[in-house]
């Protein structure tokens, strides 16, 4: 199906997932709903999903890549009343999961997608050929990519959510910017560098090209984004289809190598670092649970609600379950403003959100994403509404 959409004077046409509600219904009609299994790709947030699923009585299954399977098959395997992973299917590479469809359907699997799922597997195959019921909005995740029509920037703009200024040309740079460009070797990860004018942009980009860190062709499609000086915070949401209600699951911030190591040093010690080690690398290695003052919560809820309402129009049926708006709180104009510079349209990778109080304010006890997802699936199954939360 080709969805035509007007943006300014341009008409974009992009393909929506070809897994129809009829196909989904046919698959579910053959499931034993009393023996549902929650499946996930082995990485990112798999353990969080499995722990929550076990709490609500589901079996769990992880599809792991050979060489990375011991976390699930050994260390957190279910045994003697411990662990949360009941079964592991090992593949040579993550993308081979498409060939496991019959096995997954035979085990009554509902699959919870995560970032790993989309990074290591082919988008079109997952959207169009992966005939396994998926919890979450299957069509939306590709819109995280910044070089596709209808991407996250367009959604944020249409929703009226504050975001950094985007520069169409490096010659237009008139303030501090962060340049986001694909790495030369790991195309699914981005390299970042800072510049405050065109000359700095040229010098730093050329240095990184010569070092083999980025490719000149990728630089042409890089995003040049105003650098927001503020307190960084990722707001992790859950949109409940069963309750027609938006929840804040928790707030966190990223830990990144080797940037975190550099920032732990006072300025005079940073100056002593050899030039070969001064480059700030922003590879995400974990998260830190953070809290925010209550006066910011309405701003966060409003941004989340505007995003959900826009997604219902742009990618029907809209957001299902988890997503995140990642940004910073800035006070340049004397007021606290939430700027969003990144969107995750699936379960975020931080299990630490459970250790912030926001889900507990709603449910009495703080709840992990895995628990909240399992709760929604359980309620939908009991109400006979599984099809409304699956794609």
Per DSSP, 144 falls in state: G
Residue 188 is predicted with a pLDDT of 65
The dihedral built from the CA positions of residue 151, 155, 158 and 162, taken in this order, carries a sign that is negative
Residue 40 Cα distances to 72, 115, 168, 226, angstroms: 11, 11, 38, 36
Residue 370 is predicted with a pLDDT of 97
Residue 189 Cα distances to 17, 96, 115, 281, 358, angstroms: 24, 21, 11, 12, 30
Dump pLDDT digits (tens) for 36-76.
999 999 999 999 999 999 999 999 999 999 999 999 999 99
Dump pLDDT digits (tens) for 351-363.
888 999 999 999 9
- Domain ranges (residues) in the chain: 15-135, 166-226, 231-380
What is the C-alpha separation between 181 and 178, in angstroms, rounded?
10
- 350 — pLDDT class (breaks 50, 70, 90): confident
Residue 3 is predicted with a pLDDT of 42
Q: What is the DSSP string of 325-360?
A: EEEEEE-TTSS-EEEEEEEESS--S-GGGGGSSHHH
Burial of residue 346 (number of CB atoms within 10 Å: 0-12, 13-18, 19+): buried
- 17 — pLDDT class (breaks 50, 70, 90): very low
Superfamily of domain 231-380: ATP-grasp fold, B domain (3.30.470.20)
Dump pLDDT digits (tens) for 281-340.
777 788 899 999 999 999 999 999 999 999 999 999 999 999 999 999 999 888 999 999
Query: Are 15-135 and 231-380 in the same CATH fold?
Result: no
Judge whether 369 and 49 are in contact, CB under 8 Å.
Answer: yes
Residue 15 is predicted with a pLDDT of 44
Dump pLDDT digits (tens) for 289-301.
999 999 999 999 9
Global pTM value: 0.89
Dump pLDDT digits (tens) for 254-278.
888 888 888 888 988 888 888 767 6
Dump pLDDT digits (tens) for 130-166.
999 999 998 888 888 877 888 999 999 999 999 999 9
- Using the predicted structure, report yes or no on whether residue 186 has a pLDDT greater than 60: yes
The dihedral built from the CA positions of residue 62, 67, 72 and 78, taken in this order, carries a sign that is positive
Q: What's the average model confidence in pLDDT over 232-242?
A: 97
In the CATH scheme, what is the code of domain 15-135? 3.40.50.20
In angstroms and rounded to an integer, the radius of gyration of the C-alpha atoms of the chain is: 22
- Using the predicted structure, report yes or no on whether residue 207 has a pLDDT greater than 50: yes
């Amino acid at each position: 199906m080709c969805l035509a959409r007007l943006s300014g004077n341009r008409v974009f046409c992009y393909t929506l997932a070809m897994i129809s509600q009829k196909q989904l219904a046919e698959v579910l009609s053959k499931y034993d709903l009393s023996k549902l299994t929650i499946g996930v790709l082995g990485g990112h947030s798999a353990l969080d999903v499995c722990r929550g699923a076990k709490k609500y009585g589901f079996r769990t299954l992880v599809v792991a890549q050979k060489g990375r399977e011991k976390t699930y098959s050994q260390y957190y395997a279910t045994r003697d009343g411990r662990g949360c992973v009941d079964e592991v299917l090992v593949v040579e590479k993550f993308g081979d999961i498409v060939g496991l469809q019959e096995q997954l359907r035979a085990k009554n699997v509902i699959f919870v997608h995560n970032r790993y799922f989309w990074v290591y597997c082919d988008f079109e195959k997952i959207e169009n050929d992966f005939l396994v019921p998926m919890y979450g909005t299957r069509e939306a995740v590709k819109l995280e990519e910044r070089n596709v029509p209808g991407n996250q920037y367009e959604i944020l703009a249409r929703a009226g959510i504050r975001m950094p200024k985007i520069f169409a040309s490096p010659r237009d740079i008139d303030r501090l910017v962060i340049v986001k460009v694909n790495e030369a070797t790991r195309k699914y990860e981005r390299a970042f560098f800072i510049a405050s004018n065109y000359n700095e942009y040229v010098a730093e980009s050329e240095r990184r090209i010569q070092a083999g860190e980025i490719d000149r062709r990728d630089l042409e499609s890089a995003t040049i984004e105003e650098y927001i000086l503020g307190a960084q915070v990722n707001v992790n949401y859950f949109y409940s289809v069963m309750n027609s209600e938006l929840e804040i699951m928790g707030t966190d911030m990223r830990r990144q190598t080797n940037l975190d190591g550099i920032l732990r040093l006072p300025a005079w010690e940073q100056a002593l670092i050899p030039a070969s080690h001064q480059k700030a690398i922003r590879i995400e290695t974990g998260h830190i649970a953070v809290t925010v003052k209550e006066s910011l919560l309405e701003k966060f809820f409003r941004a989340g609600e505007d995003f959900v309402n826009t997604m219902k129009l742009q990618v029907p049926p809209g957001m299902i379950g988890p997503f995140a708006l990642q940004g910073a709180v800035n006070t340049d104009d004397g007021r606290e403003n939430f700027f969003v510079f990144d969107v995750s349209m699936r379960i975020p990778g931080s299990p630490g959100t459970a250790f912030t109080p926001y889900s507990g304010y709603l449910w009495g006890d703080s709840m992990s994403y895995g628990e909240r997802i399992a709760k929604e699936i359980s309620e939908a199954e009991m109400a006979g509404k599984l099809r409304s939360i699956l794609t």
